[in-house]
């Protein structure tokens, strides 16, 4: 795997957890971070290979936010991090093919590493 960039949009705890989980890829992966949807919207013009999006971050419905991202960067490999609350919304997101995977909290390091390994 050549050097890839993963963008994490979410709270600081999620960023720290993903940095810890992805330490085994430390020479192959660079992690960028944003705590807000506004910053992510500005950074969409930058290059990154994968997006981990915390479903709690957007102020508008997450399905609308993902549609906007998908319109701007259709090839972006997006992983949605969710709480196991709104199954209908997650199913709609999957049916529209807006994400490459869903990670349900609480999750294990193995789940995240499997996604990163397969998608990058």
In order of their start, the domains of the chain are 4-119 (3.40.50.2300)
Cα 87–113–71 angle (5° rounding)?
Answer: 55
- State phi, psi for 98 to the nearest 5 degrees: -90, -15
Residue 1 has pLDDT above 60, yes or no: no
Whether pLDDT at 92 is above 70: yes
- Tell which wins on pLDDT, 89 or 40: 40
| Proportion of the chain above pLDDT 70, given as a percent | 98
For the chain, the C-alpha Rg in angstroms (whole number) is 13
Q: What is the pLDDT of residue 5?
A: 93
How many CB atoms lie under 10 A from the CB of residue 102?
17
Average pLDDT over residues 10-16: 91
Cβ 14 vs Cβ 81: under 8 Å: yes
Rounded to whole angstroms, how far apart are CA atoms 25 and 30?
Answer: 9
Predicted TM-score (pTM) above 0.75? yes
Name the pLDDT band for 42 (thresholds 50, 70, 90). Answer: very high
């Amino acid at each position: 795997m050549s050097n890839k960039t993963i963008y994490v949009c979410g709270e600081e705890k999620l960023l720290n957890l993903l940095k810890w989980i992805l330490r085994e890829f430390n020479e192959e992966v660079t992690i960028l971070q944003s705590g807000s949807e506004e910053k992510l919207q500005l950074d969409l013009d930058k290059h990154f290979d994968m997006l981990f999006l915390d479903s709690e971050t957007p102020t508008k419905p997450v399905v609308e936010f993902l549609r906007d991202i998908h319109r701007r960067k259709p090839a972006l490999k997006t992983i949605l991090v969710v709480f196991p609350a709104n199954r209908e919304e997650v199913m709609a997101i999957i049916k529209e093919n807006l994400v490459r995977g869903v990670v349900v909290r609480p999750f294990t390091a193995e789940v995240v590493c499997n996604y990163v390994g397969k998608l990058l």
